Amino acid sequence: MEEFIRGLPKAELHLHIEGTFEPQLMFEIAKRNHISIPFSSVKEIEAAYEFDCLQDFLDIYYQGAQVLIKEQDFYDLTYSYLKKCAEQNVRHTEIMFDPQTHTERGISFETVISGINKACRDAQRDLGISSLLIMSYLRHLSEEAAFTTLKESLPFKEHITAIGLDSSEKGNPPSKFKKVFEASVAEGYIALAHAGEEGNADYVWEAIDILNIKRIDHGNNALQDPELVTEIINRDMALTVCPLSNKALQVVSDLKAHPLKKMMDLGLKVTVNSDDPAYFGGQVNQNYHEIHKALNLSKKDLYELAKNSFNYSLLNENKKKTYLDELESYYLTNK
């Protein structure tokens, strides 16, 4: 099965580029930028990655991102993630980045997006992986701050496909960002958002009804409300589910208690993703593998998950079809 998962063509639709920052690279970049970090070894860093909840993790995640200063840093971070994609037969990826984590520290929007975008372009050329970018607003900050970011993004619009909403969910409902989402969509960005990771079903309702999102990041707590589940199915929206993240942040007590199979059985369109692989103990293939083991998923289930990853990507229909054909022929020869 490990071999089947490794070769399975797939897309990754939910990952934060700052969450792919491996300790080894963090040390290297900190050193060349002469920034001290409060850890003296990779082992010490890894030992600090024990979380009780989302906020616990976010505190460490924002701290790690502080060593990113130059365009080359953002390039190295992104290219290093894309190399891992190539090893896992991730054919397409939709990368979230948090501009405010950097602009708040005086790093320009241009520095951030140029480094990320150049790495994506080189990975397309050298590794044959397609990517697109999702600019995420930090929900613990104000709507006004998100408006500033929207404005800063406009000169680089051609490189950005969608907007997202991430960071501390509880106490920061989607409705807080109604106006900036409307303005972003008016600029041509597609709306996406994290909802129902720690927040309840009412936050998912707000995200779909008030922010008009096209895909739900996480969405676990949608299961609290059967009417909401029906609505998500009727609107043909996918959930980008992140099993190892849910385990690490104690959204589920154990992978065996993960609702992914239940979601599939209810008729929800589910995809499997790594969220913040450097912090949660595994890349996307590890997520496929561990959830397969925990829930006894068949090859057909895994094929379904990979199919969803292309079908619910933001690619145009032609590109989707190319990847779906590749996936189908892989499945038919390896099932």
**Within 13 A of 7's CA, how many CA atoms are on the CB side?**
13
What tokens does 131 get? Answer: 């990517």
Interacting residue with ligand ADE among 91, 176, 194, 292 (CB under 6 A): 194
- Could you tell which of Zn ion, ligand ADE, none binds residue 19, using a CB distance below 5 to 8 A set by kind? ligand ADE
CB closest to ligand ADE, residue no? 166
Site for Zn ion in 256-275 (CB under 5 A): 275
Q: Which of 275, 290, 307, 312 forms a contact with ligand ADE (CB under 6 A)?
A: 275
Nearer to ligand ADE, 172 or 322 (CB): 172
Name the token pair of 142: 């104000």
The pair of structure tokens assigned to 293 is: 């083991």
195 Cβ contact partners less than 8 Å away, ≥ 6 residues apart: 165, 169, 174, 203, 204, 206, 207, 208, 213, 216, 217, 218, 219
CB of 284 to ligand ADE, least distance (A): 14
Partner from Zn ion, ligand ADE, none contacting 206, C-beta within 5 to 8 A by type: none
Nearer residue to Zn ion within complex by CB, 166 or 206:
166
Per-residue b/e over 217-256, b at no fewer than 16 CB within 10 Å? bbbbbbbebeebbebbeeeebbbbbbbbbbbbbebbeebe
What would the DSSP string read from start to end of 187-216?
TTPEE-EEESSSS-HHHHHHHHHTS--SEE
Please report how close the Cβ of residue 107 comes to ligand ADE at its closest, in angstroms. Answer: 18
| 145-174 binders of ligand ADE (CB under 6 A) | 166-167
215 is in the binding site of which of ligand ADE, Zn ion, none (Cβ under 5 to 8 A by kind)?
A: none
d(CA 86, CA 211): 34
Q: Is 197 a catalytic residue?
A: yes
Which x/- pattern over 54-93 shows residues binding ligand ADE (rule: CB under 6 A)? x------x--------------------------------
CA 31/CA 41 separation, integer angstroms: 12
Q: Can you read off the two tokens belonging to residue 330?
A: 């892989």
Question: Which positions lie near ligand ADE, rule CB under 6 A?
Answer: 16, 19, 54, 61, 166-167, 194, 197, 245, 275-276
Question: Which residues sit at the interface with Zn ion, rule CB under 5 A?
Answer: 275
For the annotated catalytic residues, the residue numbers are 197
